[in-house]
Structure 1
Amino acid sequence: MLSPIMLTPLVEAMQEATLVRWHVREGSRVEQGTPLADFSAAGRNLTLSAPEPGEVVVLRIAEGQMVPVGTLLAVLDRAPATHAGPPPPAPGKSLKVRRLIARKMQESWRSVPHFFVTVAVDMTDVIGLRKSLGVTINDFILAAVVRSLREHPWVNSLWLDGEAVEQSAINLAMAVATECGLYYPVLADCGGLGLRELSRRAAELAAKAHEGRLERKETAGGTFTVSNMGMLGVESFSAIITPPQAAVLAVGTIRGEVVVDDDGEPGIAPMLRLTLSADHRILDGADAAEFLGTLKIYLEAPITLETSGDRESC
């Protein structure tokens, strides 16, 4: 059950106060009387404590901000702490996860100048190879993205302190939809990995996401994101960039379409649409088109991903 934490008068006649620092973070477990935050008011340093036990769902006020009495400071989930042993089945999507995602996406949409570029890819050869190799279509996409980022390292940049900074390590975040919400586990330092090792690591991280076992370090440091809604039947979509990354790749479903071959003959081919959402402060249209062109080449000749000389981790 959710409980709002409001700024109450901490001293007589207090009308406003400045938040000096939080003692807790979102996700922290607190008991009744646990210090939540330090405030400055009327020349005095004051501490606000938790009125009851629970979990901090969201912090609404930034440190250094002055707010009047009655302001919503945080939200507490008063659900009791779980007992020792395996966790119970996860509910409806997690309110905490939803709020975090909403806040990050709102910030991204307001502050990042997005533009979108789409390319269609013939997945005939990927479909032919995937069963014999024991990997998924998404594994091929991840491997092709890693190779393409190596060839176009500027796409693997972050917007830091007002400028784009190219990253030496490729940390590939992949969107995983679970019963509790959307998580972004990260394939860390995966630039030298081949198809099979990427497949193994991606499966491990996805399983941990669904089981609620992801560690904080396994969701941090992403430099590029892949969001695949193909399994949901979505033909194409545009994703929102996760700051400070330069871009995110949206992957749709594969569907048969009429295509014309080099001889002008019509036929049916399994086509996939990939949409790159890019930060225009870092990338321009040519950067996005060249990256997608390389990605298309790898996916239409996927044997190069399987037979590469990349190192395979044990």
Structure 2
Amino acid sequence: MPINILMPALSPTMEEGTLAKWTVKEGDSVASGDVIAEIETDKATMEFEAVDEGTIGKIIVPEGTEGVKVNDLIAVLLEEGESADDIDASAGASGGDAAPAAEAKSDEAPKAEAAKADAPAPAAAPAAPKAADGDRIFASPLARRIAADKGLDLAAIKGSGPHGRIVKADVENAKPEAAKPAEAAAAPAAKSAPAAGPDAETVRKMYADREYEEVTLDGMRKTIAARLSEAKQSIPHFYLRRDIQLDALMAFRAQLNKALEPRGVKLSVNDFIIKACALALQQVPDCNAVWAGDRVLKLKPSDVAVAVAIEGGLFTPVLRDADSKSLSALSVEMKDLAGRARDRKLAPHEYQGGSFAISNLGMMGVENFDAVINPPHASILAVGAGVKKPVVNAEGEVTVATVMSVTLSVDHRVIDGALGAEFLAAVKAALEDPMGMLA
């Protein structure tokens, strides 16, 4: 019996994807484990392997198709001895709107049944309303439905039917004032709803006389917009700022890079920051935590996520067990993750998880900024550029030092101010005395 190939869920949060490329064509033989397609999720392009062996009998979804839902039928695999004639009888048995069998069944349905299915169901009348004093308001079902459509308050309408029952004519002849109480009742709900901003059509009209290019959001941009909007609305952010002197670190880095040159390893300032944050999470373990709806999960290892900018968005690949890895190992791993992130070749487990993130815009000349927490993380460190500044040393003398400004964005549900300050102090101490990170 032909086997339906369905759109896979390549990550826990994937709901749809783009079928970027078929690496097989109809008539090709495939074995279990063969790559048959490339699927674009909101974060990466991933290879999709065949589970069974057989012959590709029919490709349902052409390559380049966007918005293919998980579990939609994308192709049909024929087993030994089967031909294309067997497909119509089986395709669609396990899902997919594009299934030929589903279409055939639809075409064969009796016309009377189709007409019955297409006929709009009569709208149900609203439940019997009550007056402000709790007494039931007597009104015919038709009157209640017309009142609901017009936004009229039945309590403000006098009925002309038996025993004061409100009938169709009463509602149709109601004065505009009858709508006011209903509108007032709806006002608090409308006022409390979060402002979503003007819709696309409204914005287009605002710029109708200006030249512009309309850019359709891809899956990654939609996900970023949704997650960060949710983060700013639902996470109670607060911010802690410190200045960190980098002169000792820069000298130590130059010394280490000279020693590591034969191995082809070159440490960046960001490598030291990753290591310092990983160690600080161990020193202040209550900060090594994530928000889990109705509880907090405290992690044992230091899994540090690092923001990597790519065209059209960003990834936050996770360096697992960063506290136990050497600086050179972190440097090599970070370069590998960043390179594959830019090519959208990361697997989901490589950019999901962690309890803490680093966003470094220092290399772009930004001196300080506030980063948005990436849920379920409890904090994120925004790192600015190292800049030469006058400082007062321990002897009270004014000298010049390389100073880097950092801002810790904190989820107050997980981490309180004093705890966040303790963590940031640990990061500062490690970076200002970098030799201690090797101990």
Q: Which moved more, 1:112-121 or 1:98-107?
A: 98-107
Gaps of 5+ in 2: 1-13, 20-59, 72-94, 100-214, 258-266
1:49 is matched with which residue? 97
Supply the distance in 1 between the matched residues of 2:331 and 2:16 (Cα, whole angstroms): 32
Distance 1:48 1:255, change over 3 A: same
Match of 2:353 among 221, 233, 245: 221
> Which secondary structure state, in structure 1, belongs to the residue aligned with residue 16 of structure 2?
coil
Asked if 1:261 is matched to 2:393, the reply is yes
In structure 1, what is the Cα distance between the partners aligned to 2:68 and 2:233? 33
Q: 1:50 to 1:231 in 2, by over 3 A?
A: farther
Please tell me whether Structure 1 or Structure 2 has the larger radius of gyration of its CA atoms: 2
The aligned runs of 1:96-135 (5 Å cut-off) are: 96-134=219-257, 135=267
Give the letter for the 1:113 counterpart.
Answer: P
- SS of 1:27's equivalent? strand
SS at match of 1:258: strand
State the alpha-carbon separation in 2 of the partners of residues 98 and 228 from structure 1.
Answer: 20
Give 1:196 shift.
1.6
Deviation, 1:141, is: 0.4
Q: CA deviation at 1:181?
A: 1.9
Match of 1:27 in 2: 17
Q: What CA distance in whole angstroms lies between the structure 2 residues aligned with 1:277 and 1:148?
A: 15
| TM-score, with length taken from structure 2 | 0.51
Q: What is the CA–CA distance in structure 2 between the aligned matches of 1:276 and 1:101, rounded to whole Å?
A: 20
> 2: CA distance between counterparts of 1:116 and 1:35?
40
1:28 & 1:176 partners in 2: Cα distance?
Answer: 22
RMSD: 2.5
TM-score (norm 1): 0.70
The size of the alignment, in residue pairs, is 236
Higher relative contact order (CA 8 A, sep 6+): 1
Q: Secondary structure at the match of 1:283?
A: coil
1:237-276 map, 5 Å: 237-276=369-408
Describe the superposition over 1:5-56 as per-residue Cα deviations: whole angstroms up to 9, x where unpaired.
xxxxxxxxxxxxxxxxxxx723252817998489xxxxxxxx88369xxxxx
CA distance in 2 between counterparts of 1:93 and 1:171 reads 34
8 Å Cα contact 1:37/1:48 also seen in 2 = no
Equivalent-residue separation in structure 2 for 1:98 and 1:31 (angstroms): 24
Q: 1:35 to 1:271 in 2, by over 3 A?
A: closer
* Residue identity (%): 35
| Aligned partner (choices 154, 158, 161) of residue 290 of structure 2 | 158
**Is the strand fraction higher in 1 or 2?**
1
Q: Residue by residue, what CA displacement relative to the aligned partner does 1:145-199 show, whole Å, maximum 9, x if unpaired? A: 0110010111110111312221112211100012242111111232311222111
Q: Which deviates more from structure 2 when the two are superposed, residues 114-123 or residues 127-136? A: 127-136
Distance 1:196 1:162, change over 3 A: same
Question: Do structure 1's residue 170 and structure 2's residue 302 form an aligned pair?
Answer: yes
- The unaligned stretches of length 5 or more in structure 1 are 1-23, 39-46, 52-91, 309-314
Task: Select the structure that is richer in helix.
Answer: 2
1:39-90 superposed Cα distances (whole Å, 9 cap, x missing partner): xxxxxxxx88369xxxxxxxxxxxxxxxxxxxxxxxxxxxxxxxxxxxxxxx
Deviation digits for residues 234-269 of structure 1 (CA, Å, limit 9, x no counterpart): 111111111111101110011011101122211110
* Contact 2:15/2:70 (<8 A) preserved: no
Give SS of 1:49's match.
Answer: coil
2:106 — aligned with what?
A: none
